[in-house]
């Protein structure tokens, strides 16, 4: 497979239909007119919430892409919905709180909370309409053609005998009908719960007009119906309940019954410094947060206006908070059932992560390998099982004395947690830093914390006022020469589930300076012991941001002096205004900058006089782009850093994060020549950010890419498969080092020469 050259950044090309508006920047008040444009001008920044909606639109575009298999498109619809849920529960809820509290906080873009809410509502209504058009007019017909159909409420009469019996046996005993009258006020409904709103006729008791039936989450959302001629038919649980809802309210005339769904403010709010026991405090707040105010109402578009108005009044919402849905609500709830369908044409070709041959051999000691070299893994293309095995091996190894690990999101039935429990039970000194404030994972982390403590693990919760987001595992082992430390550093969580769908990097090393920094991090987290200095790492909140600014400034100075400079940064989000201004200054000085930002990006590329040398792309594909990689030309030294942190204010000042350089030459070359080069060359799944904040799909030959179609994730899968084939077919490959499984050293030298000319 031919290597890919790293494209040089160039100003984005606006689409003819949407030219960027002219941006006239003015000098700062304390500067002369010839001193250059003001980098504080609000028009140079994209609002964070609007940029996030643009990201979710890119997710929706994958669901609308006819080249993507139907159930994969359905998966993207589900991701789009789940993203929106969290967006409303946290971001929209926060803006609404600012309004109700008369707080007019603005970011560098200067948009007020009310302006943001207005734009969010307009944009989201449009996106949801597109979502359901794709579902009903494109995806459902394809799935039906493959022999699977979801019957509409009107067609359920065909299965009346089966459904009646099923309702009586499986559903009726679980239901709780709630009538609403002056003696029974509107009930408190759980966040994201699916419910049926019932409207009664006038002949019913004079003061009884409405009722609510919660749809039980303990029952399957899709009910499979008796097989008919090789086809599979399903009914929605809420449609079955609606068909027989009269049995829940005997003697009452039901005139309408329609599903609705509620989203509430779901953010935690408490004072850590006042909490005597953080675990107990968060546990109490989790129970309380289900009382948060409503922020969004989704209701069937078939519902009459009087019923919708009643719900709006009862939930204290506004008209713009109501989303009328022309299809099934809560799309993610349908995914487990549909995802089990076996028709190959509905799915992407399956991919199994590979285990590097050098690490797969039963007699290959991971600690002996790390004596010889650093090991870099690219997930999910290379299996996360290696990371799990590292912890499991340490747990059973009699020479291991201590294990220390940070845990942010671990998933269900975590093998990492089980390994730490076994290690403690085996008499090792085990410390686990569990982040109780990991959003949406608070309850799971509380359970894990208690389970670990019961096994004898020393569990700590980090620094007051900060989330611990860094990914570090440290193993201390007694060897012939004395104690030796081994460390795993990652860009993603210790979660085998998400490791199959997130792109991340893992670095294993026995480098003493890295290990010393890892020990210092745990001493900081457990004992508030701050080191005098860090040997290799940048650590937030203690200097990471300044370190990034210094790296950008160094590149700026080199470009000023020598006319050359290069920065490539890959991350999930870019929103810190100081970092954005530093990138603008670097561009003005002549630094060529490529940013691969999956989600929120507050920087505007291609602005004359400000960001002409900056290109921003976003890749949305089968796997969630999650790794954070920074490349600096550094006057020919070519530095590469990996990190757990995005370039956002919260990561710099409210989280414990790390960034670390890649010092192993082969690992560094692999990141530059394989991962970054392929990401920048992607002209199939990449979108380019325009200076007006819109994104356009990159096509072969545009935005600095080549004429040959390149889908970066497909390329990474092909490389992984090639490694697996070589391992099976080539004698002697079992002893290959990880970096030798890819192009040869000679090939890398030649590639490096070519890339140096292009960079």
Q: Kindly write down the DSSP assignment for every residue of 78-113, as one continuous string.
A: HHHHHHHHHIIIIIIHHHHHHHHTT-----TT---H
Q: Is 347 a catalytic residue?
A: no
The pLDDT value given to residue 146:
86
Q: What are the strands of the beta sheet with 178-180, ordered from one edge?
A: 178-180, 210-214, 194-200, 254-264, 294-300, 322-325
pLDDT at 342 over 60: yes
The pLDDT value given to residue 534:
94
High-pLDDT (> 70) share of the chain, %: 85
The pLDDT value given to residue 251:
83
Please give the Cα distance from 18 to 424 (Å, whole number). 61
* Stretch(es) of the chain classified as CATH 3.30.870.10: 33-38+539-758, 357-536
Which one is catalytic: 209, 378, 379, 469? 469
Helix, strand, coil shares of the chain, percent, nearest 5, are 40, 20, 35
The pLDDT value given to residue 226:
85
The pLDDT value given to residue 744:
36
User: Are the C-beta atoms of 615 and 703 separated by less than 8 Å?
Assistant: yes
Does CATH number 3.30.1840.10 belong to domain 83-346?
yes
Fold of the 357-536 domain: Endonuclease; Chain A (3.30.870)
List pLDDT tens digits, range 644-703. 999 999 999 999 999 999 999 999 999 999 999 999 999 999 999 999 999 999 999 888
List pLDDT tens digits, range 535-573. 999 999 999 999 999 999 999 999 999 888 999 999 999
Pick the CATH number of 33-38+539-758 from 3.40.50.1100, 3.30.870.10, 3.65.10.10, 3.30.420.40: 3.30.870.10
CA nearest 599: which of 91, 55, 62, 50? 55
In SS3 terms, 491-514 reads as CCCCCCCHHHCEEEEEEEECCHHH
User: Are the C-beta atoms of 116 and 47 separated by less than 8 Å?
Assistant: yes
Please give the Cα distance from 337 to 334 (Å, whole number). 6
The pLDDT value given to residue 18:
36
pLDDT at 24 over 70: no
Please give the Cα distance from 650 to 420 (Å, whole number). 30
Distance (Å) of CA 509 to CA 307, 438, 478, 518: 62, 27, 16, 11
Q: How many CB atoms lie within 10 A of CB 63?
A: 23
**Residue 287 pLDDT level (bands cut at 50, 70, 90):** low
Please give the Cα distance from 144 to 134 (Å, whole number). 14
Please give the Cα distance from 197 to 212 (Å, whole number). 5
Q: Poorest-confidence range of 30-44, 151-165, 293-307, 681-695?
A: 30-44
Please give the Cα distance from 749 to 608 (Å, whole number). 37
Please give the Cα distance from 313 to 120 (Å, whole number). 22
Average pLDDT of the chain, as a whole number: 86
The pLDDT value given to residue 6:
55
User: Are the C-beta atoms of 469 and 657 separated by less than 8 Å?
Assistant: yes
The pLDDT value given to residue 281:
60
CA nearest 390: which of 357, 413, 368? 368
Distance of alpha carbon 710 from the chain centroid: 23
List pLDDT tens digits, range 84-132. 999 999 999 999 988 887 777 788 999 999 999 999 999 999 999 999 9
pTM for the model: 0.88
User: Are the C-beta atoms of 299 and 311 separated by less than 8 Å?
Assistant: yes
Continuous segment of H or E residues that includes residue 70 = helix 70-86
The pLDDT value given to residue 702:
84
Residue entry with tokens 């792109």 = 503
């Amino acid at each position: 497979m031919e290597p890919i050259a790293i494209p040089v950044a160039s100003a984005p090309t606006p689409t003819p239909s949407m030219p960027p508006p002219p941006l006239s920047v003015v000098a700062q008040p304390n500067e002369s007119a010839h001193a250059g444009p003001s980098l504080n001008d609000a028009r140079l920044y994209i609002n964070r919430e609007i940029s996030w909606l643009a990201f979710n639109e890119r997710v929706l575009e994958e669901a609308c892409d006819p080249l993507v298999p139907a159930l994969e498109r359905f998966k993207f619809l589900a991701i789009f919905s789940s993203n929106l849920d969290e967006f409303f529960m946290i971001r929209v809820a926060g803006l609404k709180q600012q309004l109700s509290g008369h707080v007019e906080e603005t970011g560098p873009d200067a948009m007020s909370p009310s302006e943001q809410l207005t734009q969010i509502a307009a944009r989201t209504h449009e996106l949801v309409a597109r979502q359901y058009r794709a579902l009903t007019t494109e995806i459902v017909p394809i799935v039906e053609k493959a022999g699977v159909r979801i019957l509409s409420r009107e067609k359920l009469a065909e299965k009346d005998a089966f459904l009646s019996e099923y309702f009586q046996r499986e559903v009726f005993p679980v239901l709780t009908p709630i009538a609403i009258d002056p003696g029974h006020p509107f009930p408190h409904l759980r966040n994201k719960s699916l419910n049926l709103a019932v409207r009664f006729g006038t002949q019913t008791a004079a003061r009884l007009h409405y009722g609510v039936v919660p749809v039980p989450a303990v029952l399957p959302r899709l009910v499979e119906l008796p097989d008919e001629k090789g086809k599979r038919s399903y009914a929605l649980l809420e449609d079955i309940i609606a068909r027989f809802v009269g049995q829940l309210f005997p003697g009452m005339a039901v005139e309408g019954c329609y599903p609705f769904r509620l989203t509430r403010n779901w953010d935690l709010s408490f004072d850590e410094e006042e909490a005597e026991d953080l675990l107990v405090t968060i546990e109490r707040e989790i129970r309380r947060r289900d009382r948060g105010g409503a922020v969004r109402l989704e209701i069937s578009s078939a519902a009459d206006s009087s019923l919708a108005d009643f719900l709006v009044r009862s939930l204290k919402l506004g008209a713009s908070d109501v989303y009328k849905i022309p299809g099934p609500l809560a799309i993610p709830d349908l995914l487990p059932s549909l995802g089990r369908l076996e028709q190959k044409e509905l799915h992407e070709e399956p991919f199994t992560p590979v285990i590097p041959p050098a690490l797969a051999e039963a007699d290959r000691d991971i600690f002996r390998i790390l004596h010889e070299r650093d090991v870099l893994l690219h997930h999910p293309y290379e299996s996360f099982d290696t990371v799990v095995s590292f912890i499991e091996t340490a747990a059973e190894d009699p020479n291991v004395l201590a294990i220390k690990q940070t845990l942010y999101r671990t998933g269900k039935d975590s093998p990492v947690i089980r390994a730490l429990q076994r290690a403690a039970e085996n008499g090792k000194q085990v410390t686990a830093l569990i982040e109780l404030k990991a959003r949406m994972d608070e309850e799971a982390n509380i359970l894990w914390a208690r389970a670990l403590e019961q096994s004898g693990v020393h569990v700590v919760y980090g620094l007051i006022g900060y989330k611990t987001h860094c990914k570090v595992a440290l193993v201390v082992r007694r060897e012939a020469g004395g104690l030796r430390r081994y460390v795993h550093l990652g860009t993603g969580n210790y979660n085998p589930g998400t490791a199959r769908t997130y792109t991340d990097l893992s670095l294993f090393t026995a480098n003493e300076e890295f290990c010393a920094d890892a020990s210092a991090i745990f001493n900081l987290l457990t004992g508030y012991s701050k080191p005098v200095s860090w040997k290799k790492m940048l650590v937030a909140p203690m200097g990471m941001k300044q370190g990034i600014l210094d790296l950008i400034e160094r590149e700026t100075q080199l470009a000023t002096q020598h006319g050359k400079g290069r920065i490539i940064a890959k991350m999930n989000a870019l929103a810190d205004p100081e970092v954005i201004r530093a990138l603008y200054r670097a561009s003005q000085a002549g630094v060529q900058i490529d940013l691969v930002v999956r989600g929120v990006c507050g920087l505007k590329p291609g602005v004359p006089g400000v960001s002409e040398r900056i290109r921003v792309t976003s890749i949305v594909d089968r796997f969630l782009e999650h790794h954070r990689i920074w490349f600096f030309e550094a006057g020919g030294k070519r530095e590469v850093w990996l990190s757990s942190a995005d370039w956002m204010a919260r990561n710099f000042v409210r989280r414990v994060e790390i960034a670390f350089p890649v010092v192993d030459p082969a690992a560094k070359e692999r990141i530059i020549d394989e991962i970054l080069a392929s990401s920048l060359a992607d002209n199939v799944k990449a979108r380019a950010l325009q200076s007006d904040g819109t994104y356009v799909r990159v096509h072969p030959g545009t935005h600095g890419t080549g004429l040959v179609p390149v889908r970066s994730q497909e390329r990474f899968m092909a490389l992984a498969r090639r490694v697996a084939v070589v391992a099976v077919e080539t004698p002697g490959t079992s002893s290959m080092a990880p970096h030798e499984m890819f192009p040869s050293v000679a090939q890398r030298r030649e590639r490096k020469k070519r890339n140096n000319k292009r960079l």
